[in-house]
Amino acid sequence: MAERGLAPNFSEAALAEAAAMAPATAPSGPELRDLRDLLWASIDNDDSLDLDQLSVAVPAAGDSITILVAIADVDALVKAGSAIDAHARANTTSVYTAAEIFPMLPEKISTDMTSLNFDQDRLSVVIEMLVDPDGVVQDSQIYRARVRNHAKLAYNSVAAWLENREAIPDAIAAVEGLAENLELQDQAAQRMKDLRHDQGALSLETIRSRPVFDGDQIRSLDIEEKNRAKEIIENFMIAVNGVTARFLSASKFPSIR
């Protein structure tokens, strides 16, 4: 990492800032919506602790589906020009290696105070998209909102259920209406996927493996495969990127993409 100009360790100033931080709060008002009652859920890897997105679906007129994606509002806590911001600016991303993850933000922030953790009220930036029956995003908006994660779900178990290979996960069954909501999200994601491929998007089958450690020794490699749950998040995030790019462009705000 050092050879490539990255910072493997946080500065003492950044660690001190993180230690002194309290959960972000924001006053209620028209600029901050309260969406905590929606059936938000996270879908991520089994061992993920930094939950940076939630999603939920709402039926709309004409067989359209409104998809809302909540992104952790780190900016509400980490201020521009701070030591933590300087570290994030230097690395630009979390660095993943076989043996260790070097997070872009101190773990107190990334896995706790800004992470969209189960059963916790959090601040977020919400990207709302109206997806028509053909998978086209007909309308969109971006705004800040309070959200609450009602179920922490994992890709593999959600996919096994959606593909009728296993029973419904307990975390889904425990929340009334969540199963139907996830099926609606899956329907919207498949529409978006079909449209992307009709327009020429490539389907690349890449082989990714995750090392399984026994202490300090690698015991085996688990092969990660694409599945229907991963496609939900993948297609939503591609659409979110498009909506955000158009929002920045319309606002005359420069961005790199």
Last residue of a domain, one of 61, 95, 113: 113
- Statement to judge: residues 189 and 137 lie in one domain: yes
Provide the pLDDT for residue 204: 74
Residue that the structure tokens 């940076």 belong to: 52
pLDDT at 129 over 70: yes
- Statement to judge: residues 92 and 153 lie in one domain: no
- Over range 85-108, report the average pLDDT: 90
Q: Do residues 178 and 161 make contact, with C-beta atoms less than 8 angstroms apart?
A: no
In a domain? residue 257: no
In a domain? residue 138: yes
- Statement to judge: residues 105 and 201 lie in one domain: no
pTM above threshold 0.75: yes
In a domain? residue 256: no
Rounded-to-integer distance, Cα 86 and Cα 104, Å: 10
pLDDT tens string 177-206: 999 999 999 999 999 999 999 999 887 777
- Statement to judge: residues 220 and 197 lie in one domain: yes
- Statement to judge: residues 88 and 196 lie in one domain: no
The mean pLDDT value of the chain amounts to: 91
pLDDT at 172 over 90: yes
Rounded-to-integer distance, Cα 90 and Cα 115, Å: 21
Q: How confident is the model at residue 98 (pLDDT cuts 50, 70, 90)?
A: confident
Lowest mean pLDDT, pick from 56-60, 94-98, 107-111, 120-124: 94-98
135, exposed or middle or buried, with CB in 10 Å at 0-12, 13-18, 19+?
buried
- Statement to judge: residues 106 and 137 lie in one domain: no
Q: Do residues 125 and 24 make contact, with C-beta atoms less than 8 angstroms apart?
A: no
Q: How far is CA 144 from CA 51, 71, 209, in A?
A: 17, 9, 36
Q: How confident is the model at residue 243 (pLDDT cuts 50, 70, 90)?
A: very high
Q: Do residues 192 and 131 make contact, with C-beta atoms less than 8 angstroms apart?
A: yes
pLDDT tens string 37-94: 999 999 998 878 889 999 999 999 999 999 999 999 999 899 999 999 999 999 999 9
In a domain? residue 153: yes
- Statement to judge: residues 182 and 220 lie in one domain: yes
In a domain? residue 123: yes
Q: Do residues 224 and 177 make contact, with C-beta atoms less than 8 angstroms apart?
A: no
Helix H or strand E segment including 239: helix 228-250
Q: How confident is the model at residue 25 (pLDDT cuts 50, 70, 90)?
A: low
Local structure of residue 99 (DSSP, 8 states): S
> Quick one: what percent of the chain has pLDDT higher than 70?
97
Q: How far is CA 31 from CA 27, 68, 140, 236, in A?
A: 9, 17, 17, 24
Q: Do residues 71 and 53 make contact, with C-beta atoms less than 8 angstroms apart?
A: yes
| Residue 17 lies in domain | 1-24+78-113
Joined together, the tokens standing for residue 156 give 């593999």
For the chain, what is the domain count?
Answer: 2
In a domain? residue 142: yes
- Statement to judge: residues 50 and 134 lie in one domain: yes
pLDDT tens string 192-241: 999 999 999 887 777 777 777 888 888 888 777 788 999 999 999 999 99
Residue that the structure tokens 């994660």 belong to: 149
- Statement to judge: residues 132 and 235 lie in one domain: yes
- Statement to judge: residues 3 and 51 lie in one domain: no
What is the CA angle 171-174-177, rounded to 5?
105
